[in-house]
Amino acid sequence: MRSRDGNSNLTFRLSSIILFCSLALNAGEYLISYRYMVKDAILYNETLHISHAMTKCEGKPQSELILENTTDGDLKKLISQNSEEFSNYIHKLGLHIKYKEQTLNLQNTSTTILTLKTTCFKVDFNDNFARIAPLK
């Protein structure tokens, strides 16, 4: 389609810019860190921190996790609804493990801390699902 001034590319350029902006709004990069502590075989503490990346993350997406999206783009809500699946996925990525065992007055105590260091994830939200992939 030609515009009034004879520039046929104007309409195409505007539509491609609008399409690109709408796709960019559905994808984002997030920094995620996760830590939980087990003390004497009981879950003692569990923390999950999620924040938008302030700068563009370097790297290529690795193995991805696909979750059903019913949260309108809220990543923390999405992960909490699928917490077991997400924790299994994180275990496959690799966690730092710190284990301490102590015996005092014939009483044995143990503490295990599992930590996912702050990692940049690319998250693409679609209508029905969200695709989460770490950048390495």
Predicted TM-score (pTM) of this structure = 0.72
What range does the domain containing 81 cover? 27-134
Q: What is the phi/psi pair of residue 91, to 5°?
A: -60, -35
Q: Is residue 5 part of a domain?
A: no
On whether residue 10 sits in a domain, the answer given is: no
14 within a domain of the structure (yes/no): no
Calculate what percentage of the chain has a pLDDT beyond 70. Answer: 81
Is 24 a residue whose pLDDT tops 60? Answer: no
In a domain, 11, yes or no: no
27 against 114, higher pLDDT? 114
pLDDT per position as a tens digit, 90-135: 989 889 999 999 999 999 999 999 999 999 999 999 888 999 999 9
Q: Is residue 15 part of a domain?
A: no
What's the confidence (pLDDT) of residue 133? 95
Measured CA to CA, the distance from residue 75 to residue 79 in angstroms comes to 6
Within a domain: 18:
no
Evaluate whether residue 90 is within a structural domain.
yes
Q: What's the domain count of the chain?
A: 1
Given pLDDT bands bounded at 50, 70 and 90, which one contains residue 18?
very low
pLDDT in tens, 44-72: 999 999 999 999 999 999 999 999 988 77
Instruction: For residue 4, tell me if it sits in a domain.
Output: no
Q: Do 115 and 34 touch, CB atoms closer than 8 A?
A: yes
**Angle CA 94–96–100, to nearest 5:** 140
Better pLDDT: 25 or 46: 46
